Each structure stands twice: as C-alpha cells, then as structure tokens.
Amino acid sequence: MRQTKKRVTIHDIAAASGFTASTVSRALQNDERISDATRIIIESLATQMNYRSNAVASSLRTGKSKMIGVVIPLFNRTFFASIIGGIETVMKQAGYSVMICQSNDDYESEKAAISALMRARVDGIAISVAAQTENFDHIQLLENEQIPFILFDRTHEEMEVHQVMIDDFKGAKDATLHLIEQGCRKIAYFAGVQHLTTQKNRTLGYKAALAEKGIGFDDNLMIISHLKEGSGDNAVNILYDKGIEFDAIFAASDYSAVAAMRNLQKRGVEIPKSVAIVGFSDEPFTALVTPALSTVNQHTHLMGQTVATLFMNLFQNEVDPKLMNKIILEPELIIRASSLKKQHF
Amino acid sequence: MRQTKKRVTIHDIAAASGFTASTVSRALQNDERISDATRIIIESLATQMNYRSNAVASSLRTGKSKMIGVVIPLFNRTFFASIIGGIETVMKQAGYSVMICQSNDDYESEKAAISALMRARVDGIAISVAAQTENFDHIQLLENEQIPFILFDRTHEEMEVHQVMIDDFKGAKDATLHLIEQGCRKIAYFAGVQHLTTQKNRTLGYKAALAEKGIGFDDNLMIISHLKEGSGDNAVNILYDKGIEFDAIFAASDYSAVAAMRNLQKRGVEIPKSVAIVGFSDEPFTALVTPALSTVNQHTHLMGQTVATLFMNLFQNEVDPKLMNKIILEPELIIRASSLKKQHF
DNA sequence: TTACGTTATGCAATCGTTAGCATAACCATA
DNA sequence: TATGGTTATGCTAACGATTGCATAACGTAA
C-alpha cells in the first residue's frame, strides 16, 4: 500500500514560524504589506521545508488555474508541434502552463478533450478543429460558458470568435502563380477535405491564380483526399489511370507532395522538367528530399506566439472580449528545386 | 470587464432538487446508497442545468487529479508524438487526461516543467530526459516526494526507477550487422551526444556488431553531434575534409541520415552502391525519400501504451512501487533501398 | 407494541489557499 | 495627551466536491 507522505502546506510553515497561514501566503506572494524581516524568515523556511504551493487549492480559491488548454488534431506534424512551441514560449514567460490534447481529427475526441479542459478549469482554450468536425455546438458551448477561447489555423470563419490563421488563400495563390510563371498550364491540385476552412481557402487561391492568368479550371485536375502519406501516391495513379495530362502538381500537404514525387520518379518522370511540384507547410524534411521541395511556409512559431499573446490580452482585459479578433498571418512561398524549371542556381 | 457567469455547482442542483449537496454528489457518482428515483431526478436536473463537475475542487478534496504529466524534449519528432499517442490511448480509456510539457532539450526547462506538474498535483509524471540533462537531482526529488514517475526512452539506467525503453543496443547492432552483411567494412557512425543512455547504447551496439564480425573500431569513423537536420550534412563534410574513406553510414537519427544522403548525392556518390545508409527512428518521411531509407523502428506507440499501462498498475497498487519495473521493448530493423547493395526487388 | 435492522438522506468537516475585514502596535501631529 | 494615520499581522469565511458519521423513516420479527 502506497503511503503518501503528507506534503508541506502553508500551515506547516505557519506553525514553524509562529505566523498565521495568511501571513505565510502573503509573504510567499510578495505582498507588500508583509515586512521584509518576516518575509525573509518565511521564505527561507519554505525552501528549507521544501514547500511547494498547491496549485489545485490556489486554483479553487482564485478561480484561475494559470493553465491554458490546446486542442490539436495530431502531434505528428511539425506544423502543430511548432505552433505549440510558439504558444509555450509566450505562456511560460507569463507563468502559465499549457495542457495539450489531441483530437486525432475525430469529432468525439475533440468534444471530450474540450470537456476535460473545461473540467480542469483552464483559463483559456485554443483549438484547431478536427478534420471530421462539421458541427460547432461544442464551440458554441464555450461561448455560452464564457470561457476565453481562440480558434487557430483550422477555424470556423463564420463564427464571430477570436481566431488566428494564416492566409491560405494567398499561400495557395502564390504557389499556383509561381507554377504558372514557370510555364506550367495543366496544374494538378491535390486538395484536402473541403469543409476545413484552410483547405477551402487554398482551393479558392488555386482557382484565383488560374483565373488571373486566364487558365480555365479543370475539374479533372483537382483530387480531394485526406492528404495522408499514401494519398499523394494514390492521386498520381488516378491521374494516370484516367489519362489526364498535367505538367505540375500543387499539393496542399508536403507529405502528399513528396509521395507524388516518388511515384513520378518511379515512372521515370523528370522533376521539375516534366512535372513541377509545390507542397504546403514547409515540413523540415522537404529541404532534404531530392529534388528539394518547394512549399509554403506558414510561420507556425509566430502563429503560436500570436495565439498566446491574444490570450494574455484577453486575460488582462486589454481587449474587449466582445470584439472579435481575427488575425491573419502572411504565408511565405519557399522556392526550391522541385518547381524551378527556368532558373538554376 | 469580463463578467464571469457563475458556473453551476452541486449546490445549485441541491437547491433545485430539494436534496443536499452530499446527496447530489453521491447520485452523480452512482453511489449505491442513493435510490434510483432520486438519482434519476438529480441526473436529469444536472444535464438540464448544464452541470459540469469542477475537477479542481474534486482534486483538492480527493488528492487525485486524474491527470498525468509527460515531459518530452521536443514535439517536432514523430517519435515523441507517436509515444504520446500511445500514452493517450490507454489513459483516455481510464478517464485520465494527459498534460504535456516540452523541455526543448534544456535542463532548466525540464526542471521547470516537472515543478509545474508537481504544483498541478498530477497523479504521475512520465519523463524522457533532455539532452542537456546530466544532473538527476530533480528526478530524485520526485522519488523523495513519492510521486509516481516513469522514465521512458531516454532514461537514466543507473537509477532504480521505473523505466520503459527500447533496446537501443540491439537496434544499432542489427543495423550495423545488416550493413556488414551487405558487404560494407568501413561503416561511418553518426552518433548523438553520449551522455544520453539511448545514444550510449547505440554506440555499444555499433561496436558490438563490428567486434562480432572481426572489424576493428575506427575512431575517425564515429562523428558525434546533436543529430539535428544540419549535422548529417556536416558530418559528411568532415569525413571528406579529413579524407576518411567509408562505404556505409549508420546514423543514429533519420534526419541526419537523409541530410547525409543529400550531401552524398550532390557529390555524385551512388546510394547504396558506393555508400549504403541506415537511419534510426523510422520517421514517416524515410519511406518517401529516394532511395527510401533503411531505418530502425522503435515501436513508439507501443512504448507509450506500455508507459500508460505501467502507470495504471502503479495507481491501482497492482505492482509493488518499490519494485523497479524496467521494461525493454524490441526494435525492428526496416530494410529499404538505401542499404540494399546485394538484393534487388 | 417494542426493539432492531435497513435504506435513504443530511450534517459538518475537510482538502490548501486566498482575501476582505478587523485590530494591535507604533508613531506623529495638534 | 488625545486623535488619527500607518504598518504588520490575524481572523474567518470562502472556493466546490467528498465522505465519515449521524439520523429519520420505514418495515419486520418477537
């Protein structure tokens, strides 16, 4: 049977020092009303006795947990890992902890995660919605319960809520324009599920670029999938099976792009000479494949920092919580060998 | 000024139902002493009033938070992401939440993370130690405070603590033996920092394979670095600059291996014909590079599940907490094109 | 009818910290 | 010397859920 040793509380320090618990509490919080002399006594006693304040009790009393929750679809993308890195950087400085939950792109898991975070009484929740989420009642619930929350990257633009996203439209448009400038005209587009705002906007960007250059949109060239590792491979097979000609691929995911590249290389297709390729996300391995993959960098670390900063502003009432904050970051097209038909280094 | 709407508590339900808070609490916990009739009344009232139990209060009272903490070096490796996935799978089923902190491979951050988790009174802490951690006092502290904790992957084998790891020795030995079987004799080894147990064991495995086959260990062939993306590139340059001959590379990281591959390809070196390459970790992109990278799979999801299961056993006193559990999982060599000199598909 | 067991519920303390409202001790000023 | 203002600390009631120990209400057997 595990014998849990009783942890030391402010009452123990109070007893040891001869002061009251309130004085101890104040001293440890650097309350100015406590004299330096007793503060020093109490502080040294606290260290000596190995005191560690109980965040649970404090949280119950103050109603603040100094913790925010983050719900992301999956860890296994550098994309989300990097965003969380950005969030943590800012939050840690402000003395906050970050609790992370994965939805695995599943609606029920997302609901469960949000529910767990609410039960844990986090001070705020940041959410990047799951691919399967098409119902936003659980988000509405946060609104009703007046829990500060921010949607990031995969948002729900129709809702009047705080959100931080990148300009997917521009990212996709720039990528497509770049391919057109390289002389491509039949640009296959490997798209993600279209109920995600990010994916929808990328599609609009792709189409806008074509329209701007007077190229008609060809339905056959757009292949929708979940953009997992296997789907790029699959998409190329579909194009070949259907006998659809293409001289470029713009994939809304780096994994999909690299898988497509491999498929083409196996078929003896030269890249970028016969088919130019651009991905999306700037995953670190894109610089390591051959040829190096052109892609769209989403400034993920900055996005995370932006989310965190917005939280801090909300917590400090520096912004009107009623006033929706919609922050849109600029993506950056990274041009590498996979799409460079004209110039060479 | 944010007007926090008061959340509904068991007292509100008590008032609405005419029962006491204790009865409400018991009813919602399915205490058998409560009659079915009142249970139904209370439960329906709870749903109706949108009641959500306060985990903070519950945690303070019971001393259990139903939350475990996980400290990892970095998110941005599929390796750790996948382990966490495994942990979550098991924990979620048992009604636990998982709180994740990054150490960024930094000792101070690791200490801070553990401290935050202790303050949050998590029921257990799983740790994969930071690369810079060489002092284990903070781990010892957990031991002293009797907080259940498990070290995983990057452990500290000398300590008598619960740990879950993979057999890095075997993984490295198998990889090296495979290269030797392919006819390689001058196998360069791109190693990680040697105070990490994982890295140390890989080095032993590499050396054991050489010894077993009667090949002498050549200090020049072993290059130690942090195994970041750039270091594989760098290591190859060092070999060339020093004029050291090699016919294979075993890199203790996939990123390093792929970077090395690129460097060699730029130099016109044929892979695997002139230089065979094996990486470590089986990151998803390894299957997508050309040639596909041979690597060592570490069964990360299983490792996570194992950690979680061990926690559950500890929590339920099904194992003697004094009895150290050291669980070692088997790695698996994944042979792909980058190291196949002899056979062809 | 009395005594006792069951069943269903209530009472009140508790977890550790915080904070509003005293209050004691001291000093300075009129 | 009386009055008022500081300064430093104490008292006590929260925060919301849980739980050991009553106890009321009812039934049942002697």
Per-residue pLDDT tens over the stretch A17-74: 999 999 999 999 999 889 999 999 999 999 999 999 999 999 999 999 999 999 999 8
Chain B residues inside the 8 Å CB shell of A67 = 120
Q: What is the pLDDT of residue A319?
A: 66
Half-sphere exposure of A117 (CA within 13 A, CB side): 35
Q: Which residues are within 8 A (CB) of B200 and not within 5 positions of it... i.e. 6 or more apart?
A: B194
What is the C-alpha separation between A18 and A258, in angstroms, rounded?
68
Q: What is the pLDDT of residue B318?
A: 66
What is the C-alpha separation between B24 and B38, in angstroms, rounded?
9
Banded model confidence at residue B2, pLDDT cuts 50, 70, 90: very low
Which residue type sits at A21? Answer: A
Q: What is the pLDDT of residue B321?
A: 62
Beta strand A124-127 pairing with A67-72: parallel
Structure tokens at A108: 């029920």
Give the residue-averaged pLDDT of B16-40.
Answer: 93
Per-residue pLDDT tens over the stretch A229-242: 788 999 999 999 99
**Is there contact between A290 and strand C, defined as CB under 7 Å from any strand atom?**
no
Q: What is the pLDDT of residue B182?
A: 96
CB contact under 8 A, A287 and B67: no
With CA atoms as reference, the chain A residue closest to B284 would be: A229
Burial A116-134 (b: 16+ CB within 10 A, else e): bbbbbbbbbbbbbbbbbbe
Which residue type sits at A337? Answer: A
Footprint of strand D on the protein (CB under 7 A): A 18-23, 26, 33-35, 37-38, 57, 60-61, 63; B 6-7, 9-11, 21-22, 25-26, 28-29, 51, 53-54, 57-58, 60-62
Greater pLDDT, A77 or A66:
A66
CB contact under 8 A, A56 and B53: no
Confidence check: pLDDT of A9 > 90: yes
Which one of A100, A120, A289 has the shortest CB-CB distance to B55?
Answer: A120
**Is there contact between B28 and strand C, defined as CB under 7 Å from any strand atom?**
no
Task: Find which of A2, A6, A65, A75 to mutate to test the B interface (most B CBs within 10 Å of its CB).
Answer: A75
Q: A208 in helix, strand or coil?
A: helix
CA diameter of chain B? 87
Confidence check: pLDDT of B317 > 90: no
CB contact under 8 A, B288 and A76: no
CA to C1' distance (Å), from B25 to C11: 14
Between the alpha carbon of residue A71 and those of residues A110, A137, A142, A196, A271, the distances in Å are: 7, 16, 13, 16, 38
- Determine the nucleotide nearest to A29 by Cα–C1' distance: C18
**Is there contact between B26 and strand C, defined as CB under 7 Å from any strand atom?**
yes
Confidence check: pLDDT of B324 > 80: no
Chain A residues inside the 8 Å CB shell of B95 = none
